[in-house]
Amino acid sequence: MKQFYVKYRELVFAIAYIIVACIIWATAPYTDLTRRETLIITLALGLLDVELIVASMLFKRLDQVLQRARPSELDWRDDIRRMTDGHLNELTLLAVWGKSSLYFNKVKTMASEGKYLTEKSEVYGETIMYCRTLRDLKGELMAISAFNIDDFINDPDAKDYLSANAELMRQGKKVRRIFILDPMDLERTDFRHMLQIHDNQLTPPKDDITEAKDSGVKWILRRHAKENADQDFAFFYPYVIVRQGATGSKLDISQIKVELEEAARVFDCLWNDPNTMRVSQLPPIEKKSK
């Protein structure tokens, strides 16, 4: 049923409008509505139906562009720019409710500026979306978590993000994660359990011969991370980086080349730091003296 709706949603919208219009016209004599009011309601429903159909078609076209993204981020940005050229204002006007207007504005901004800001609360929605996009591309995921790490213990969306990471690895993509920790984090059993779950999910089989064979999870104490201790991002290499800071309510999503190169440098620096350890190297919890 769901597949039928996705494939024929425009037809579903049209049929629904016709049914509602017929009901309005059939019941008009038994209500207090005048002919003029009935006509206005029917026309309003017709406009709503047209907008839903157009928005659905535009979303379908955008999805087709994003799904065939090529290795150079500039190439697919040019695709979006060509597709929306001359129609950006119409897209914004047509998509006036739900998240459609926000979505089109993001595409518009990314195509013209190479980056956009969104609400930090959307971090897992954005990263899960890019995990799915990366499945069909040549690339890998490099992630550093330094803030809001408790989300992986308490937030179902964060757990869905971990599942999306694991799915990427199972499909042969390299997935590497680094956690920047404070000493007190190492004393928490729930925190250590969360790290172990990540390690279990993102450790490839020993006989893996794909790029995923180098996947894994590491951790480093914040005081050892030095100038990189305030880094928190998911880099869907080499396409896009999703970054958040310790403060502020915005999420920074960028495809600017110099920023992507800096993210790769920071990640490699931390991953190869001698102070960065595997989860299996977690020290035992110190027993507090009575």
> What's the 3-state SS for 42-64?
HHHHHHHHHHHHHHHHHHHHHHH
Model-level pTM?
0.68
SS3 letters for 234-252?
EEEECCEEEECCCCCCEEE
Helix or strand holding residue 166 (H, E): helix 156-170
What is the spatial distance between Cα 224 and Cα 177, in angstroms, rounded to a whole number? 17
For residues 84 and 163, state if they share a domain. no
The alpha carbon dihedral of 176, 182, 183, 184 has a sign of negative
Provide mean pLDDT across the span 142-147.
93
Determine the average pLDDT of the residues in 95-106.
52
| Domain end (from 94, 110, 126) | 110
* Residue type for position 27: T
Share of the chain above pLDDT 70, in %: 61
One domain for residues 62 and 11? yes
Split at pLDDT 50, 70, 90, the class of 52 is: low
Instruction: Please give the pLDDT value at position 86.
Output: 46
CB 211 within 8 A of CB 253: no
> In this structure, is residue 290 part of a structural domain?
no
Q: Which of these, 193, 218, 191, lies nearest to 203 by C-alpha position? A: 218
* Pairing, β 216-221 against β 115-119: unpaired
Do residues 62 and 160 both lie within one domain?
A: no
Give the mean pLDDT of 59-88. 50
| Domain shared by 139 and 35, yes or no | no
| Residues 261 and 159 grouped into a single domain | yes
Is 232 within the bounds of a domain? yes
Residue 30: predicted pLDDT: 58
Last residue of a domain, one of 85, 110, 135: 110
Cβ–Cβ under 8 Å, residues 113 and 73: no
User: What SS3 state is found at 209?
Assistant: coil
Whole domain around residue 140: which residue ranges? 116-280
pLDDT in the model for residue 74 = 40
pLDDT score at 31? 60
Q: What's the whole-number mean pLDDT along residues 217-241?
A: 89
Would 285 be classed as within a structural domain?
Answer: no
Determine the Cα–Cα distance for residues 123 and 282; give it in Å rounded to an integer: 28
End-to-end alpha carbon distance in the chain? 63
| pLDDT for 239 | 85
Spatial contact of 189 and 175, defined as CB atoms under 8 Å apart: no
Residue-wise pLDDT for 243-276, tens only, equals 987 666 788 888 888 999 999 999 999 999 999 9
